[in-house]
Amino acid sequence: MATRTEQVKVLLAGISGLILMLGIARFAYTPLLPLMLEQSGLSAAQGSWLASINYLGYLSGALIASRISNMPLKDSLYRLGILVAVLSTAGMALTTDWRLWALLRYIAGLSSAAGMLLCSGLVLNWLIRNHFRGELGIHFTGVGLGIAGGALLVELLGDAFDWRQQWLWFSAAATLLAIPAWGWLPRPGATSVTVSGEALTDSPPSPLFLRLFLAAYFCAGTGYVVSATFIVAIVDAQPDLTGLGNRVFLLIGLAAIPASILWDRLARRLGVLNALILNYLLQILGISLPLLSTSLEAALLGALLFGGTFAGAVSLVLTMAGRYYPRHPAKMMGKMTLSYGVAQILAPGLIALMVTSDADYRQGLVLASAAMLVGSVLMVLLRGLEKHESGLHARTS
């Protein structure tokens, strides 16, 4: 039986992996985007396309993860993702060729999928097999830590370092994080039983439930990607808020750190779907506030609400998916992330077509708010369907 110390090391490995493969390989781009727009010759439209290409890599990685059942292979790809995250981050500083940047953002997206799906699946599988609570709230604090840490690093580096040097600082941090991410997550066995010999049995949801769930998570992907990618540029573009975008992004990360743990606890009391409905509604308010007011107070409250909800939604959805497939957690996680990933490709691309030469990304907030509203309705339908199917199961059993 695994000890508490081993559990802590596994959770720290997962957190380090998320900070590395999402917080740096993915999210470092957001606080560095305004600096690259100013110093590197990158245009606003190109900045949007790089975001879409990053998510194309993420989608490709999710597709691969959803088709792999072999746990040792998943582990090998997770470790490859660690190496790719470090190298793709360093590579951003070594060129100004947009085509090479596009390639680097694509492979960084592959790494992000390894962090979100393979790392999360491996951690969840280890927890379940060793009879710990099958929740990912603590694990997903890595998302908030990654966002906050990246924003704080850019804030600390300030004007003393240009965009290229700041990418190199991120690559140094990535190298340090790779050590626990690699060394503290045990290699998984190919067995489908717990350490005490109990069988792990998959219990997939109905096809209709899965389709609605995928659609609802697609909406969450749309809501998430706009704020996560463009919030720094949106805030900096406001005359009264110029220069505060990175601090708002830092606040999003700080709010996200405890959020997944709090949503785990709320889901235990309300049920996962009720918690997700509340999560979506609060996220709509967080996304919409910068549209309703250009004040600093609105930007800060919006950041708190967005940061406090998006990571919680991901954690709840992927934990739920993992419970349906305890033997192969990444199976349904991959399908859900494919839906989330398609939204993350389409939304920045659509914004790239909408954005004007003055880099006004605010149009995207309207798109994000509308998508989350549709997602909320779908979550309410899912709750009704779950009750209906549970009733049918009770009558037939």
Sequence letter at residue 128: I
- Global pTM reads 0.79
Question: What pLDDT score was predicted for residue 190?
Answer: 60
Question: What pLDDT score was predicted for residue 167?
Answer: 96
Please say whether the beta carbons of 299 and 290 come within 8 A: yes
325: CB partners within 8 A, 6+ apart: 202, 204, 331, 332, 333
Q: How far apart are CA 251 and CA 302, in angstroms?
A: 10
Residues linked to residue 193 through DSSP beta bridges, in sequence order: 199
167: CB partners within 8 A, 6+ apart: 28, 32, 89, 90, 92, 93
> Which residue from 101, 124, 119 is spatially nearest to 23, judged by alpha carbons?
119
Question: Would you give per-residue pLDDT tens digits along the chain (397 residues)?
Answer: 678 888 899 999 999 999 999 999 988 998 898 889 888 888 888 888 898 788 789 888 888 887 887 888 989 999 999 999 999 999 999 998 999 999 999 999 999 989 988 998 899 888 888 878 777 888 888 888 888 888 889 888 888 899 999 999 999 999 999 999 999 999 886 655 555 556 666 677 888 999 999 999 999 998 887 777 777 777 877 777 777 777 887 888 888 888 888 998 999 899 999 999 999 999 999 988 888 888 888 888 988 999 899 889 988 988 888 777 777 766 787 788 788 878 877 877 777 776 654 555 677 788 889 999 999 999 999 999 988 877 665 555 5
User: What is the SS3 assignment for 310?
Assistant: helix
CATH architecture entry for 7-189+205-396 = Up-down Bundle (1.20)
Question: What pLDDT score was predicted for residue 196?
Answer: 56
Please say whether the beta carbons of 256 and 15 come within 8 A: no
Helix, strand, coil shares of the chain, percent, nearest 5, are 80, 0, 20
Question: What pLDDT score was predicted for residue 217?
Answer: 94
